[in-house]
Structure 1
Amino acid sequence: MNSGQPTTSLSSSSCFAFIFSFFIIFLITTTISVSGVGNNETDYQALLHFKSMIRNEEGLSSWNSSFHFCDWSGVYCGKRHRRVTDLWLESQGLEGSLSPYIGNLSFLRLFSIANNSFQGTIPHELGRLYRLRVLDLGHNKFNGVIPSNVSGCSKLERLGLNENKLVGSIPKEMSFLSKLTFIAVHDNKLTGGIPSVLGNISIESFSASENPLGGSIPDTISHWKSLTEFYIGGCNLNGTIPHSIFNHSLLTHFSVSSNHLTGSLPSALGAMLPRLVYLQLYGNKLTGPLPASLSNCSKLGFLEAQDNNFSGKLKIDFAKLKDMYWISIGGNNFGFGEADDMKFIDTLKNCSKLDTLDLSSSKLQGVLPASIGNLSDRLAYLVLDQNLIYGNLPPSIGNLAGLTTLILANNRFTGKIPSTIGQLQKLQVAALFKNQFSGPIPESIGNLSLLTNLWLNSNRLESHIPSSLGKCHHLLDVNLSDNKLSGRIPKQLLQLISLTIVLNLSQNNLSGSLPTEVGKLQMLTSLDLSYNNLSGKIPSSISGCISLVFLSLKGNLFQGTVPPSLSSLRGVSTLDLSHNNLSGQIPRFLERLILLEYVNLSYNDFEGDVPVVGVFANASAYSVLGNSRLCGGLAELDLPKCKKNTGKHQKRILVFVIGLLIVSILFTVLCFLYAWCKKIKNQPSQSSVDDEKSKQVSYTYSQLFKATNGFSEANLIGEGGFSSVYKGVLDDHDGKIVAVKVIHLQNRGAHKSFIAECEAWRNIRHRNLLKIITSCSSLDFQGYDFKALVYKFMPNGSLHDWLHSTESKSRLNLLQRINILIDVASALDYLHNHCLPSIVHCDLKPSNILLDDDMVAHVGDFGLARFLGTNSDQNSTSGIIGTIGYAPPEYGVGSEMASSGDVYSFGILLLEMMTGKRPTDNIFNEGLSLHKFAYLALPDHVTDVVDDDLLNFLQEHAAPKKCTSTNAKLIEECVASIVKTGVSCSMDSPPQRMNIRIVAHELHHIWDTLQNILPAPHT
């Protein structure tokens, strides 16, 4: 027994030693693993490869050897095994392509890079991530197809691929992902329909809207028993909506808008979908009644069913729908001509959140009930136009305190317009035209201080025009025509300088003289006073209406001669003075109005010869009928010949020659002064500025000299007053192509420009700003100072080249132009509203806007940039203040730099993009500018001024064979809206210019409107 004891003792010691050794080894191994990469080398290398394909690595600044990769931003590891489980890099401004090495992160459960600028194809190696549960690549620029082997991610629950440029079809292999509940592929270019095999899995949320999928809605989606959200709007779908889908009682959001769907909705729809919150059906061909059972959807807030063929009386009891905020069901057939057609209005009083009520073009009949005044005080948009509503407009309409838009046009309203309308303090648009309203226009209308559009035309209104309209200081468009209004035109109305679109008082019984205050309507486009009883002389002050395009004084009692001051109306295209008592000779200045397309002087008492040049060179462009004392003119007029007056003719020639001589002398003097000022301006300054020592030198002169092949002419891609830009290839970046901006230090102000640009780039980063790589402050081979900036190379050059180059480069289509404008507006919004301190660019123009591979615009050249709100002197406008034509007029008189100056430059840039004309084109003289040129074309003649390439594009894609008349009109309206935005941005007065944030919003809205009508942008 004793012989075994030592053995047992030895064995215990050995065991203890083994355990101790193992513990030590474990500690060492763990220490190595924690301090370095250790067993996680695969994950570490995968992350490095991921980073290597990101072009702007500063977005991943923490991804370096100073930290363990589990501590890098956006990287999350498991506590036990220290392997990457989550990679969350949403909205980091990252650019580049997605490395296939991402497939080596075998422990990855969540991967999201949404809302960045990744491009290229989606690597099929993602299919190796069998532990992955969430994959979100949405809102990037991925192209190519969706990899079919995504089915290898067998545990995938959520898949987001929305808002990319993906093509091909939705892979049928997705049906193998048994745990998948969320699919978002909307806003791509997918085709091939909705795969029916997807019915094999249990989807809770499916979003595929805005894809040209085609086909029909597969009945197999009825298998998605847990479905809550279903979005397939704008997918070119046809056929019927499978009724089985309405058996999904958990459904909350349902959108099938803008397709070609037919059939009817089940009458028990509301009982079948009791949890419905959002129902969008507009723009289809659905028939039958709108189910009354929708009253049972107590949570319903959004109902949009307009532009279908729904019929039958509207029987929805909205009293049960207390969360309803949006009702848009116009463009259907709900009217039956019965007394209670409008009874449903009574049930809306409980909808305390209601914001929009659109019942237009629904054939509704009957009286508008007084209960309309019981609707929500949040109601902003009330549209009842193009129905058969009759009777009085209830005074209770004045209770709708939140109303901004009231459209009651094209009905059969009678009686007076209630004075309570003056209580609608937020009202901006009042459209009551084409009814049978009578009585006076209420004086209380002057209380509507925010009113912009007042349309009361084609009614039976009488009495005088209320002078209180002069209090509506935001009025843009007033139409009171075709009524029975009498009395004088109130001066207060003519003093509204806000009137810029239309003032139409035609076809009334107005009398008296035309007040001289009419000349204060300097920005008015159209003035129509025809068919009234106005008398006296045409006031010479009307010449102040310098923006008029249309002027009609037809059918009045005006007398005397046409005032010579009308020669100031250089933008007028239609002038109608017919059916008056005007006398004297036909004014010769009419010959010189180059934009005049039609003039009507008939039935007056003009005498003398009829001109034969200008508008009078075309017999169909004017009329002089009913003037018995006229002579000469074109042979087609068949007028008697005029007696020659040699003395007067010679006198005219003498005056003309003397005038021409004076103009020539003045022109010569001005040219001399301009040349002398330019010579003084370009003389080099003797003062010097110390170098900015704080700049880090990343490249030497020698390196950049080599990269640009000795700054050779062949590599020169741009040149300006302060710099030259060369294309270069950097050896230490694997042949990376860059743009090297070499500063002309010998030019006065160049060094200051370099410092300003460095300061600006130090403080900003945005996807629509040019990417700076580094700066260089060195000595050249002769020992002189050398300074340069190295930028990311933009392969598609500058916007200036695309607009004006004579090379055989593809031209920009409409959507591309809007995209570029949105990019530039976004950059300015960032500089003005999101930087501390705010930055003003001060030199926005096409040559400073560069385009990358995807035609995304990047604003560059911050050499004149200014920081607002600082104590520095750089806001002074002494010295360089921008580029002629793009710099706002206030800079020329010493005003300080401001963000409104950039908005002016943006407006000129926009107009240049739409018209193809530089602001310094030769046609812009004698008071005509690019701003004025565009303004005069608004609102109905925009196609006359747009760029030829753009016009050809519009004529091709808005042609009747390719586009419905409605869409063609919509395209023209959108183009007009863009031009109007440019005009609003380039106003002479800074306070009148639009806010750049609103500009960006407007352009986004126009883009959203056009993207389903026009072909996608391509380069």
Structure 2
Amino acid sequence: MHLIFPNLQAFLVGENHISGTFPLSISNLTELQWFDIAGNSFNGSIPSNLGSLSILQRFYIGFNNFGSGGAHDLNFLSSLTNCTKLQELNLDGNKFGGVLPDHIGNLSTYLSLLSMAENQIYGVIPESIGQLVNLTAFIMVENFLDGTIPNSIGKLKNLGRLVLQQNNLSGNIPTIIGNLTKLFELYLHTNNFEGSIPLTLKYCTQLQTFAVSTNKLSGDIPDQVFGNLENLIFLDLSNNSLTGPLPSVFGNLKHLSIFYLYANKLSGEIPKELGACFTLTELVLERNFFIGSIPSSLGSLRSLEILDISNNNFSSTIPFELENLTLLNTLDLSFNNLYGEVPIGGVFSNISAITLTGNKNLCGGITQLKLPICFKVPSKKHKRSLKKKLIFASVIGGVLISFTAFIIVHFLTRKSKRLQTSPSLQNRFLRVTYGELHEATNGFSSSNLVGAGSFGSVYKGSLLHFERPIVVKVLNLETRGAAKSFMAECKALGKMKHRNLLKILTCCSSVDYDGEDFKAIVFEFMPNGSLEKLLHDIEGSDNHNLNFTQRIDIALDVAHALNYLHNDTEQVVVHCDVKPSNVLLDDDLVAHLGDFGLARLIHGATGHSNKDQISSSTIKGTIGYLPPKYGAGGPVSSQGDIYSYGILLLEMLTGKRPTNNMFNENLSLHKFCKMKIPEEILEIVDSHLLMPFVEDQTGIVQNKIRKCLVMFAGIGVACSEEFPSHRMLIKDVIVKLNEIKSKLTC
């Protein structure tokens, strides 16, 4: 690319399909103020002749393939120090390696944005960063930075966004952070920070987002800090070692929407003042050491959608005020010491929305819970007649006790070869016991093992009262995120019904014969296994059976499933892990999309509300199918599923996985297919696609097949474009696939 317009002030070609190396002739554009080539396919290195651009203000080269991961990739920054008017510098989503040089502090004093997310930059943050006094955003997500946050960061008094998650930073969160009084976003999660939350954080009164999960923080939560941060909307302190009580000052956070405190060592009672946080939508306090009563004031949280206080030491009745939470769709009270009557209104009327396992003394509730009937205290006028009845009851009771003792002894002597079984599973979500699943899978034996997923193992089996074979997905609860995966999958599939979704029969949350926690999901068995096995001939599968027409049908089935999830449910469901191993095939090769362990629910028809966006920085999908921008912590969206679906189509077309050895940093499955269509399409397709047509070698038939293959490849490429706005809509995908199917059959 040769730039020959010396008076050019703006060069904006972002988000196109331009490739090649960086244009060296840029140094001739001495009047250039704005340079944007982000979102293309440029590669190579950045030249060090940029100093002549003395009035350059914005320099955007993000989401290309610049750099090599080498130590000298960032040498060009020294020439940018001569660009004394530079205001914004964005290098996100490239392959820049090396350390941040000390002379980064010599960049323009006007610099407000410095963003280098999703690169391979390592080493420490230099002290010279403090010289960039007008910086409002410093973003280094997903690199390999180590060492501590330098104290000089406290000089950046205009800083509003400090985004350093997913690095290897360590040491204490510096107390100098309190100098950043304009800070509104502070992302430090997934590092190795230790020590306590600094008291000086209380001076950051504009803070709206504070995320420090998955570090090594300890000590009490300082009430004098969070009592001041009244603008907080998102607060994530989870996966640390914080101790002590939950301060009552959290009740002052009137704008707080999401509050995660799970997996710490917190204790004491939940303060009743928390009921004043009327905007809370998610409150997750699981896996701590909280005691006492569940405060009835939580019934005032009318916006609450998720409440999880499981795996604590609460010992009280369940407050009936929780029935008033009309938006609550997930309530987990499991593994506490709760007792007494279970309410039946509101969320308690939905068996799939509540989890009460591990509380031994509960009674009442809806009939599906199968809890004992609660004993009612009689009124005074009934006491006299009750006395007579008690005499009779004591006689009958003695007989019953003797009989019960006989039954118990007889039952125990039989060990538990056949535990009590659930009624027929014709009606969804009736209870099934651990004992039934143990028996159904021959004790979860290796001979019944049919595969392993992200969070557990999958066994084939058969239940006594269910005529068809089943598969049981047993969660490995030692795997990080497994319990959340269980909740996500049960929640995602619980209310959904579509012919192309894997049908969930029931969820089981119980304890095994050793008293350990046990969670499993029971599905219908799919006789033809996964699409991955058929495509790649795993364990002797015969992929000769999957011709082009059948693959189009499977692609349509998955597209219909995604269309249902994205457009036809009350809440948009983002699957987050669309890939061949999660596409299961029944007797008739009808495809069913399964494994919703990573699924996320997004409110509204579009899922674009800021309040409802979910950061993808915690989403761990599958390499090769994961959208390229999820790693930057952007919001999860249905377009991420479209990207994964596009890769799945290209894998069906070529028979090659996106992780094949032939693909590297310069060549992906997407690029491989894109550069071969239309002329060289027959060179890349899986030979099995052509098998039904080889008998007729006429030019007409061959030309028709070729056109259909090009159309199919075009859909896969269009769906897997890097930028979400460039990807096809799933409804358009269905139209195009049906068009291909019609051309083949006519």
TM-score normalised by L of structure 2: 0.51
- Counterpart in the other structure of 1:415: 147
- Counterpart in the other structure of 1:311: 43
SS in 2 for 1:388: coil
Kindly indicate whether the alpha-carbon contact (under 8 Å) linking 2:230 and 2:254 is maintained by their aligned counterparts in 1: no
Read off the aligned partner of 2:162 and give its amino acid letter: A
- Counterpart in the other structure of 1:941: 603
Which one of the candidate residues 138, 158, 161 is aligned to 1:406? Answer: 138
Which one of the candidate residues 235, 238, 261 is aligned to 1:506? Answer: 238
SS in 2 for 1:420: helix
RCO higher in 1 or 2 (8 Å CA, sep ≥ 6)?
2
- Counterpart in the other structure of 1:536: 268
SS in 1 for 2:338: strand
Which one of the candidate residues 284, 288, 291 is aligned to 1:556? Answer: 288
Kindly indicate whether the alpha-carbon contact (under 8 Å) linking 1:304 and 1:329 is maintained by their aligned counterparts in 2: yes
Q: Could you list the runs of 5+ residues in structure 1 that have no partner in the other structure?
A: 1-264, 651-938, 948-963, 974-1008, 1015-1019
> Taking structure 1 as reference, are residues 382 and 649 closer, same or farther at Cα in structure 2, changes over 3 Å only?
farther
> Taking structure 1 as reference, are residues 329 and 942 closer, same or farther at Cα in structure 2, changes over 3 Å only?
same
Kindly indicate whether the alpha-carbon contact (under 8 Å) linking 2:337 and 2:360 is maintained by their aligned counterparts in 1: yes
| Alignment partners' CA distance in 1, 2:312 and 2:266 | 10
Kindly indicate whether the alpha-carbon contact (under 8 Å) linking 2:70 and 2:96 is maintained by their aligned counterparts in 1: no
Which one of the candidate residues 354, 360, 369 is aligned to 1:622? Answer: 354
> Taking structure 1 as reference, are residues 649 and 425 closer, same or farther at Cα in structure 2, changes over 3 Å only?
farther
- Counterpart in the other structure of 1:527: 259
- Counterpart in the other structure of 1:283: 15
- Counterpart in the other structure of 2:90: 358
1:368 aligns with 2:100: yes
| Alignment partners' CA distance in 1, 2:728 and 2:90 | 23
Kindly indicate whether the alpha-carbon contact (under 8 Å) linking 1:523 and 1:545 is maintained by their aligned counterparts in 2: yes
Give the number of the structure whose alpha-carbon radius of gyration is greater. 1
Q: What is the aligned residue count? A: 408
- Counterpart in the other structure of 2:525: none
- Counterpart in the other structure of 1:611: 343
Which one of the candidate residues 214, 219, 242 is aligned to 1:487? Answer: 219
Kindly indicate whether the alpha-carbon contact (under 8 Å) linking 1:475 and 1:496 is maintained by their aligned counterparts in 2: no
Which one of the candidate residues 374, 383, 390 is aligned to 1:642? Answer: 374
Which one of the candidate residues 65, 79, 84 is aligned to 1:347? Answer: 79
> Taking structure 1 as reference, are residues 370 and 449 closer, same or farther at Cα in structure 2, changes over 3 Å only?
same
Kindly indicate whether the alpha-carbon contact (under 8 Å) linking 1:971 and 1:1010 is maintained by their aligned counterparts in 2: no
Aligned ranges for residues 332-481 of structure 1 at < 5 Å? 332-481=64-213
| Alignment partners' CA distance in 1, 2:146 and 2:117 | 15
Q: Deviations over 1:827-859 (max 9, x none)?
A: xxxxxxxxxxxxxxxxxxxxxxxxxxxxxxxxx
Read off the aligned partner of 1:325 and give its amino acid letter: Q
> Taking structure 1 as reference, are residues 647 and 383 closer, same or farther at Cα in structure 2, changes over 3 Å only?
farther
> Taking structure 1 as reference, are residues 966 and 943 closer, same or farther at Cα in structure 2, changes over 3 Å only?
farther
| Alignment partners' CA distance in 2, 1:388 and 1:313 | 14
Read off the aligned partner of 1:488 and give its amino acid letter: D
- Shift of residue 428, structure 1, vs aligned partner: 0.6
Q: Deviations over 1:122-143 (max 9, x none)?
A: xxxxxxxxxxxxxxxxxxxxxx
- Counterpart in the other structure of 1:547: 279
- Shift of residue 647, structure 1, vs aligned partner: 4.3
Read off the aligned partner of 1:530 and give its amino acid letter: Y
Kindly indicate whether the alpha-carbon contact (under 8 Å) linking 2:202 and 2:229 is maintained by their aligned counterparts in 1: no
> Taking structure 1 as reference, are residues 648 and 639 closer, same or farther at Cα in structure 2, changes over 3 Å only?
farther
> Taking structure 1 as reference, are residues 423 and 1013 closer, same or farther at Cα in structure 2, changes over 3 Å only?
farther
Read off the aligned partner of 2:184 and give its amino acid letter: T
Q: Could you list the runs of 5+ residues in structure 2 that have no partner in the other structure?
A: 383-600, 610-626, 640-723, 730-746
Q: Deviations over 1:635-683 (max 9, x none)?
A: 4434344334444999xxxxxxxxxxxxxxxxxxxxxxxxxxxxxxxxx
> Taking structure 1 as reference, are residues 618 and 360 closer, same or farther at Cα in structure 2, changes over 3 Å only?
same
| Alignment partners' CA distance in 1, 2:120 and 2:268 | 43
Kindly indicate whether the alpha-carbon contact (under 8 Å) linking 2:299 and 2:323 is maintained by their aligned counterparts in 1: no
SS in 2 for 1:379: coil
Read off the aligned partner of 2:231 and give its amino acid letter: L
Read off the aligned partner of 1:368 and give its amino acid letter: L
Read off the aligned partner of 1:593 and give its amino acid letter: L
- Shift of residue 324, structure 1, vs aligned partner: 1.1
- Counterpart in the other structure of 1:851: none
| Alignment partners' CA distance in 2, 1:970 and 1:530 | 22
Q: Deviations over 1:784-803 (max 9, x none)?
A: xxxxxxxxxxxxxxxxxxxx
Kindly indicate whether the alpha-carbon contact (under 8 Å) linking 1:469 and 1:492 is maintained by their aligned counterparts in 2: no
TM-score normalised by L of structure 1: 0.38
> Taking structure 1 as reference, are residues 570 and 649 closer, same or farther at Cα in structure 2, changes over 3 Å only?
farther
SS in 1 for 2:80: helix
Aligned ranges for residues 26-105 of structure 1 at < 5 Å? none
| Alignment partners' CA distance in 2, 1:556 and 1:283 | 46
Read off the aligned partner of 1:941 and give its amino acid letter: H
SS in 1 for 2:98: strand
Kindly indicate whether the alpha-carbon contact (under 8 Å) linking 1:354 and 1:378 is maintained by their aligned counterparts in 2: yes
| Alignment partners' CA distance in 1, 2:53 and 2:312 | 60
Kindly indicate whether the alpha-carbon contact (under 8 Å) linking 1:591 and 1:611 is maintained by their aligned counterparts in 2: yes
| Alignment partners' CA distance in 1, 2:97 and 2:285 | 39
| Alignment partners' CA distance in 2, 1:647 and 1:578 | 36
- Shift of residue 293, structure 1, vs aligned partner: 2.9
Read off the aligned partner of 2:603 and give its amino acid letter: H
- Shift of residue 329, structure 1, vs aligned partner: 0.7
Which one of the candidate residues 279, 283, 305 is aligned to 1:573? Answer: 305
Aligned ranges for residues 795-874 of structure 1 at < 5 Å? none
- Shift of residue 566, structure 1, vs aligned partner: 1.9
Identity of aligned pairs, percent? 40
1:323 aligns with 2:323: no
Read off the aligned partner of 1:397 and give its amino acid letter: I
Aligned-residue RMSD, C-alpha: 3.2
| Alignment partners' CA distance in 2, 1:608 and 1:505 | 32
Q: Deviations over 1:256-299 (max 9, x none)?
A: xxxxxxxxx2xxx25x4443332111111111101223223333
SS in 2 for 1:531: coil
| Alignment partners' CA distance in 2, 1:940 and 1:453 | 22
Which one of the candidate residues 297, 300, 323 is aligned to 2:29? Answer: 297
Q: Deviations over 1:578-637 (max 9, x none)?
A: 111001111111112112111110111001232222101111111111112223333443
Read off the aligned partner of 1:462 and give its amino acid letter: E
| Alignment partners' CA distance in 1, 2:269 and 2:197 | 22
> Taking structure 1 as reference, are residues 500 and 374 closer, same or farther at Cα in structure 2, changes over 3 Å only?
same
Kindly indicate whether the alpha-carbon contact (under 8 Å) linking 2:204 and 2:229 is maintained by their aligned counterparts in 1: no
